[in-house]
């Protein structure tokens, strides 16, 4: 368990508790005689701050159930489909490749075609590009990424040019694309964090279509690991709703941070927010007015989540809250 979660637990600011039904583990670190295998584990444990508490198996049912070996069912059952038949892409992909191979039966392959790629005749260019660029797992990527995805399996002489024209003409990309050109000027870099979830950036994505009562997304980014949390909220959140969301979804799971960077919204300039952060020992930093690029990580994240939601919820805007990671 410690190896699996090492990147979160090593260097944590607060000690954590390990519950186990193995009674002898309570005395591993205090034992005077250890065999070589136990000594290696004891040395590994010194990298963490934690305590071990014994819990009987009868009261440790969750971990005990996960550790048991799976027993196959004696009678085979027909599992229910998770995705509808219309959402399964594999038959479409293989059908297209078979059509391409049948088209090559009457014409030879170009001499410069790589042997590991499928040469695509002219009449199938648009179908291949649509499948690569508009697949849900692709996310309407840009020209460079679309070219790389296409070249993984397919080839034709004008591939790069055709991909560039296709992406530039994509109506969804045109509506969702954001400008990457930064204004002139110098920005003072933020402090470099030394451990996960110690320095956070917070911002709101507002005025979204109603989705189950939610119209706002609060984005919280860890500037160390780039991990993020997307929290749907109803309307324009008050300072108390913001505090409740931070405690419920961030502080409870990752501990109290050292620093929070946000814009100059009313939630973050209020006396309640400043007094709370002061009592908790959290440093509060605000962006410069009309310069959102000073909190670039969360602003870039807002642009990306907005682009994905516009791409995949354009026809079902009332369901965007279901697609939040």
Contact between 218 and 276 (Cβ < 8 Å):
no
| Secondary structure class of 229 (helix, strand, coil) | strand
Could you report the per-residue pLDDT of 118-177, keeping only the tens digit for each?
888 888 898 888 888 887 777 788 889 889 989 988 889 899 999 999 988 888 887 777
Q: What SS3 class is residue 262?
A: strand
Q: Each residue of 290-323: pLDDT tens digit? A: 666 667 778 888 888 888 887 877 777 888 888 7
Cα–Cα distance measured from residue 313 to residue 311, given in angstroms and rounded to the nearest whole number? 6
Q: Where are the alpha helices (DSSP H) in 27-142?
A: 36-45, 61-67, 90-103, 125-134
Relative to beta strand 216-222, strand 228-233 is antiparallel
Retrieve residue 3's tokens.
Answer: 């190896």
pLDDT computed for residue 83 by the predictor = 62
d(CA 102, CA 288): 61
User: Could you say which DSSP state residue 105 is in?
Assistant: T
Decide if pLDDT at 70 tops 90: no
Which pLDDT score, from 0 to 100, does residue 55 have?
Answer: 84
Structure tokens at 100: 């391409």
pLDDT in tens, 193-236: 899 999 999 989 888 888 889 999 999 999 899 899 999 999 88
Phi and psi (nearest 5°) for 318?
-75, 0
* Rounded Cα gap, residues 271 and 210, in angstroms: 30
Kindly give, in sequence order, each residue whose CB lies less than 8 Å from that of residue 299, ignoring residues fewer than 6 positions away: 203, 292, 293
Span between the terminal Cα atoms of the chain, in Å: 24
């Amino acid at each position: 368990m410690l190896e699996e979660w090492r990147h979160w637990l090593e260097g944590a600011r607060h000690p954590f508790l390990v519950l186990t039904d193995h009674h002898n583990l309570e005395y591993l670190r205090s034992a005077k005689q250890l065999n070589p295998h136990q000594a290696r584990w004891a040395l590994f444990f010194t990298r963490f701050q934690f305590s071990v508490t014994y819990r009987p198996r009868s009261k440790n049912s969750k971990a005990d159930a996960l550790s048991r070996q799976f027993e196959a069912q004696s009678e085979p059952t027909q599992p229910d489909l998770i995705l509808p038949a219309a959402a399964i892409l594999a038959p479409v992909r293989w059908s297209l490749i078979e059509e391409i191979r049948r088209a090559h039966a009457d014409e030879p392959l170009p001499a410069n075609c790589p042997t590991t790629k499928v040469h695509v005749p002219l009449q199938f260019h648009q179908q291949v590009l649509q499948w690569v660029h508009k697949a849900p797992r692709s996310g309407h990527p840009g020209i460079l990424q679309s070219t790389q995805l296409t070249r993984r399996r397919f080839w034709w002489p004008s591939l790069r040019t055709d991909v560039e024209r296709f992406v530039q003409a994509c109506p969804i990309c045109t509506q969702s694309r954001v400008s990457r050109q930064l204004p002139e000027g110098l920005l003072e870099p933020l402090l470099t964090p030394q451990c996960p979830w110690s320095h956070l950036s917070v911002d709101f994505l507002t005025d979204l279509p109603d989705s189950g009562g939610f119209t706002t997304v609060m984005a919280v980014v860890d500037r160390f690991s780039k991990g993020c949390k997307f929290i749907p909220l109803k309307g324009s959140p008050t300072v108390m709703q913001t505090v409740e969301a931070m405690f419920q979804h961030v502080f409870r799971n990752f501990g109290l941070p050292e620093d929070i960077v946000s814009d100059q919204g009313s939630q973050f300039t209020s006396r309640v927010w400043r007094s709370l952060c002061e009592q908790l020992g959290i440093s509060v930093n605000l962006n410069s007015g009309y310069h959102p690029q000073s909190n670039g990580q969360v602003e870039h994240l807002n642009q990306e989540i907005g682009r994905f939601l516009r791409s995949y919820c354009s026809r079902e805007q009332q369901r965007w809250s279901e697609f939040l990671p």
